[in-house]
Copies of this chain bind each other. A is one copy, B any other.
Amino acid sequence: MNFTILIFLSLFCGLIMAEDGVHALGTGTISEKHSCSPDMCELMKEFGIMRQKLGVLETSLKDSDTRLKNSENQILELKNNERPMIVFSAAIGGDGNIGPFNTDTTLVYRAVKTNIGNAYSKITGIFTAPVEGMYYFTFFYHARGAHPAVLILMRNNHGVVMTGDHSTSSDGADNGGNAAFLQLQRGDHVYVRLFADTHVWRNGFITTFSGFLVGHV
């Protein structure tokens, strides 16, 4: 029972195919051992054509599958490269000075303007990275001249960049700010620390802290 379609075609159609010079199956030589009725031969021929088409389809589908897998992998990669929206802006808010304190103090910016992803806490003033990645932070302050102002952007327990000014009796107030891109691990804390014996001004959303996830590194 190991006859191929070629062989059994040869049993039926050999003579007629030979007469017509038609190799309907396109599968090469057809032996001319047997004859078949025209109807049966026609069926054989149609069968062969269908078989060929099926083969073509199988190959096409295999190619499609390879391309589809490739596309799926690339989509996965693109999705992995997508960053979640993590962004916050907050101001100190309230009235008058905050500080001076006896010790370095984390500034708590209570007037939250934006906090998508809830990574910034207005209770503690601390931003906690919800995913690893590259983040941008910027902070600005305004302070009266009666005391100095010194603010440091902290990552965990390390200072990153700073801004500040001396006290001055002649100039009523001073402004400052800074910014940094920081590569953070998940769970890293970023916050602004106010130096002991220094102060900033609360009013008018003038002393602020902002940040966002730039993307995966």
- A176 on interface, CB distance cutoff 8 Å: yes
**Whole-angstrom CA separation of A72 from B71 in the bound complex:** 6
- Contacting A67 at CB < 8 Å: which of B1, B72, B91, B212? B72
Interface residues of A in 22-76 (CB under 8 A from B): 22, 24, 34, 38-39, 42-47, 50-51, 53-54, 57-58, 60-61, 64-65, 67-68, 71-72, 74-75
Chain B nearest CB, measured from A80 CB (Å): 11
Q: Is the CB of A215 within 8 A of B85?
A: yes
Main secondary structure of the interface of A (DSSP, over half): mixed
Query: Which A residues contact B (CB, under 8 angstroms)?
Result: 1, 3, 5, 7-8, 11-12, 20, 22, 24, 34, 38-39, 42-47, 50-51, 53-54, 57-58, 60-61, 64-65, 67-68, 71-72, 74-75, 78-79, 81-83, 85, 87-89, 91, 113-114, 116, 134, 136, 138, 140, 142, 152, 159-166, 168, 170-183, 204-206, 208, 210, 212, 214-217
